[in-house]
Chain A
Amino acid sequence: EVQLVESGGGLVQPGGSLRLSCAASGFTFSTYWMHWVRQVPGKGLVWVSRISTDGSSTSYADSVKGRFTISRDNAKNTLYLQMNSLRAEDTAIYYCAITTGSWGQGTLVTVSS
């Protein structure tokens, strides 16, 4: 069974940093492009970032470019999102997801003083 389990969310002050992790199991992680998508509770879905199977190609939404970094460790079957210079508008549930596939349960990031 495919499982994606996010962790690392929490409360952080504006300007602060967080590192999200997504532990993958039940499939060959190293063969899938992976994404981060966020959702303000009660609102719609917004794509954040994408990474290729070997990590050599990454893409970002304009709203996070230069502040967020996506990476992966295929040996550990884990996807990461390093989030720096966080803003109040980054407050959301962050999901890791497979393109046209499963999503994790999400981890809540709250940016507030």
Chain B
Amino acid sequence: DIVMTQSPDSLAVSLGERATINCKSSQSVLYNSNNENYLSWYQQKPGQPPRLLIYWASTRESGVPDRFSGSGSGTDFTLTISSLQAEDVAVYYCQQYYTIPLTFGQGTKVEIK
């Protein structure tokens, strides 16, 4: 199984400041035939299901604010919130869909400082 490891486990950021979450996979999730990274990012607020933010490592889902961006390739990925808003308080998960079983990172809790 591909192990997904996120860092940090939690972070507190001031409103308007940048938040950065890292995700590392135990093996590459880059599929050479189409040069796509099979990596997505989800946001989960309390009492709600996960919401897809980013897929193919850097493609923003429709309706997701452009302050959310994804980057990285191979085994190292980053989710950046460029200017943290109050409504961004949530747990964020990375997920690989390169192979079965799909696996998720342990989650990163983002709070307001």
Contacts and interface: CB of A to CB of B under 8 A. Distances in A.
B77 interface: no
A44 B55 contact: no
Nearest to A104: B49
A11 interface: no
Interface string B70-102: 000000000000000000000001010100111
B3 to A, nearest CB: 13
B107 A44 contact: yes
B95 A102 contact: no
Interface string B42-60: 1000001111100110000
Interface residues of A, number: 20
Contact of A103 (B50, B55, B107): B50
A106 B101 CA distance: 20
A59 B97 CA distance: 13
Interface in A32-51: 35, 37, 44-47, 50
B102 A35 contact: yes
Interface of A: 35, 37, 44-47, 50, 59, 61-62, 95, 97, 99-106
